[in-house]
Amino acid sequence: MGKTKIQLFLLLMAILFLISLRMIQPAADPPESLSMSGGPYGDPGGYAFNARNKVLFGQWEVDKMNSPLYSSPIPALLTFLSFKIFGVGFVQMNVVPILFSCLSLVFVFLLLRKTLSGSQSLAVMGFTLLGANYLFLMYSRIANRVMPMVFFLVLALFFFQKGSKNKKWYLFAGASSFLAFMTKGVCFYIVGAFFLGLFVYLVFKLGVKKAAVPFGFCLAGFAFCLLLWGIFIYIPHGDDLKSISAINVSFLIPPKSVSRMLYYFWIRPSILFERAPILSLLSGLSLLLLLFRATHEPKKLSLLEWIMLSWFIISVLYFAVIQQRVTRHFIPQIIPMVFLSSWLIHRFLRSERITKPRRLHFTFGLVLFFWLLFPMSKIAKPILDKGPDVFSKIWIATSLLAFLSFLLVFLIIFLVRRWPKNFTLSCPPFMKKATVVVILLGVLFFNGRQYLSWALQPEYKLQHISFDLGEAFDHAAISGLWAPVICLENKHRAHESFPGFVNDEKDFLEKFQITHVFASTAFNGQEIKYYRQNFPSAMRKAQLLAKYNIWRAEMLLYDLKPSTSLISQKDEFEAEIFTQRQGMPRYDPESSGKFAVLSDKWEPGFVTIVSIQEKIPEGRYKVIFEMKLEANLSKAHPLSRIARIDIVAPETKRLLEAKDLTEDDFPDSGGYHEFPLTLDIIRPLKLNFRVYSDGLSPFWVDRIRIEKISDV
């Protein structure tokens, strides 16, 4: 096999490997640290809602929750086809974003190869920067419409590249830009950046008059798709689209107040820098060099360079002044970062030496000033926060930042002008290649470490809940913002209800014959408060069946029509409604109710903590913990402690009684076994009954009972 064939084989293996990473654990939950929002958990079910209804119930529309169908029709149709062919489930749902992610990678590779002088190896390097990026990789398997949007944006770039050779391709670039906007409207600023980059490129290349025709092709492609969308989607289904925009637009539009904009600027999160520091530094430096070229030799910039410049700058400015800056909105920004970084590495490898610039245009000094405001503000903020209170005032802090940036610009220009004309910097070829290898290895290590921490210990909480609800209930109708996602693996009806968003009628529960509520306590308990305030009678009669810890929220499962046989007695406490982070309510036909808590098999920690709010009077008591080992578990740690049960007085934080449990303490016959603790109370006390897992062997906790033996 020749050297060229070996290289092609290795390149192909690298590409297939990066694509295959997207297909590992396709049904697993996203990492809890992925986003400051619970969107990666709950949103995919909402987007798949109509496709699921069509497959299971024969109708696209079952209530007013139809905005995902009409706001993202192409992914919705592909989700329907996946459900129709393979059945409804998490894997089938996540196949769609995985597909769009892989297609995006393919087109990015083709574009990089074109813009990197046809170099296969450099194109694969850029492909790796994107394909191995942790955020891009994780969102590649989350069905929240980010990946379809990214694909259509990349496809538009592909057509823009071809349009620079034949203007008719601009028609398809405009059409693809609209498809991206239609799929997820939050990319409106990126579409605007595309048009701005194209216009500037055409003006410098052809002049204003001659630029009108090719620019018109792009506008025509966009306008034609907009017309079709307006006729077939917006006019008949405008109310559905307005319902989803009403709850999001206020968070995505810059405020009218300049002071508020500056406030958002100072508190903006460093999501991409924290998750992709090497890529951020490379793209930031590349942007500076591109700005230098744009201010000194604008006619030499290619179309893609102008588009990436516009995309990067507008994105940074946009996210600096808006309120909602959740992780998913930053994913498209990774695309220009990859191109800018790849171009920088390409120029670095091709350059012979670094020489003094012939001149520095005033415009470059101006853009350098604004460029410096962003990194300087991140450096200055923690210093200003520790200083006098006067520096915490927005206008004073901003003025000081502007002054410091101006001084730094002045210093840079002064040093460049003092740079000796004959002084140059050069780097041997082997050092350049070694530097690039180190950069690539650093990127792989940093992203690989984050990815492996998730992939080696994945969680399937959402899928397990969905399976359990299918076994626990017959023909249920579940309400909640996450109801669609927890119904993916069962055939229950799911409905969302939230004020100002969807299905917020006063008779919602009766209209759709809701049997259960699955509501979150996140964001100050907005959702659970909504049910308690708007449906007080139903919620007073409801029974809390389980408490799930998912992401950073507690999800509460209520039965609106509880059976009297399942209602706990006063001195009996179901462990599944007191679940802690290392416990998970699971359906168990052997339990006293329908659910019991299963301990985490990976991490040590408290499984359940029953907190008694009323003081227990004086007397001798027996507290009984009903527990069992996981079925079919081989006793790998017969003598090691696997759990501890204890009783604590929370007011004094004093441990009253405790017992360590090993695997040998559980009978081989299986089933729940009672582990009692005896306690003497000499004065009324509030008590906590706790079960701790050492993370060695999974076990179940059903309920905890307290029985009075005698008076003291």
Provide CB contacts within 8 A for 252, sequence distance 6+: 186, 322, 323, 324
Asked if 654 and 664 touch (Cβ cutoff 8 Å), the reply is: no
Torsion angles phi and psi, residue 254, rounded to 5: -55, 145
Question: CB–CB of 483/518 below 8 Å?
Answer: yes
User: Which residue reads 């450099």 in tokens?
Assistant: 122
**DSSP strands (E only) in 630-711:** 641-649, 654-662, 673-681, 688-693, 699-710
For 50, 319, 326, 572, the CA distances from 338, given in Å and listed in that order, are 35, 19, 20, 58
Q: Which residue from 687, 669, 693, 486 is spatially nearest to 608, judged by alpha carbons?
A: 693
**One-letter amino acid identity for 370?**
F
643 phi and psi, to 5 degrees? -155, 160
Give the separation between CA 686 and CA 398, rounded to whole angstroms: 52
Q: What is the DSSP letter of 579?
A: B
Cα(234)–Cα(71) distance, integer angstroms = 9
Distances (CA, A) of 4 to 1, 115, 569: 8, 21, 76
CA 658 to chain centre: 41
Number of H helices, E strands in the chain: 27, 17
Distance CA 652, CA 520 (A): 31
pTM of the predicted model, to two decimals? 0.93
Name the amino acid, one letter, at 172: F
3-state class percentages of the chain: helix first, strand second, coil last, to nearest 5? 60, 15, 25
How far is it, in rounded angstroms, from Cα 191 to Cα 212?
18
DSSP 568: P
* Residue 128 exposed, middle or buried by CB count within 10 Å (0-12, 13-18, 19+): buried
* Alpha-carbon gap, residue 699 to 582, rounded angstroms: 11
Could you give the CA distance from residue 427 to residue 373 in angstroms, rounded to a whole number? Answer: 31
End-to-end CA distance of the chain: 89
Six token digits for residue 405: 């940036």
Distance in angstroms (rounded) separating the CA atoms of residues 585 and 699: 12
At residue 667, the pLDDT reads 85
SS3 state at 297: coil
Q: Over the chain (712 residues), what is each successive 10-residue block's mean pLDDT? A: 69 85 93 91 95 96 91 95 97 97 95 87 90 96 96 98 94 97 94 97 94 96 96 91 75 88 89 92 94 92 96 94 91 97 92 73 87 90 82 87 92 81 76 91 94 93 97 95 97 94 92 96 92 95 95 94 68 94 95 93 92 91 94 73 95 93 87 94 94 94 94 76
**Cβ atoms within 10 A of the Cβ of 513, count?**
13
Residue 68, token pair as written in the block: 């995902």
pLDDT at position 521, please? 93
Cβ-contact 338, 277 below 8 angstroms: no
Pairing of strands 493-495, 477-479: parallel
Structure tokens at 53: 């209804």
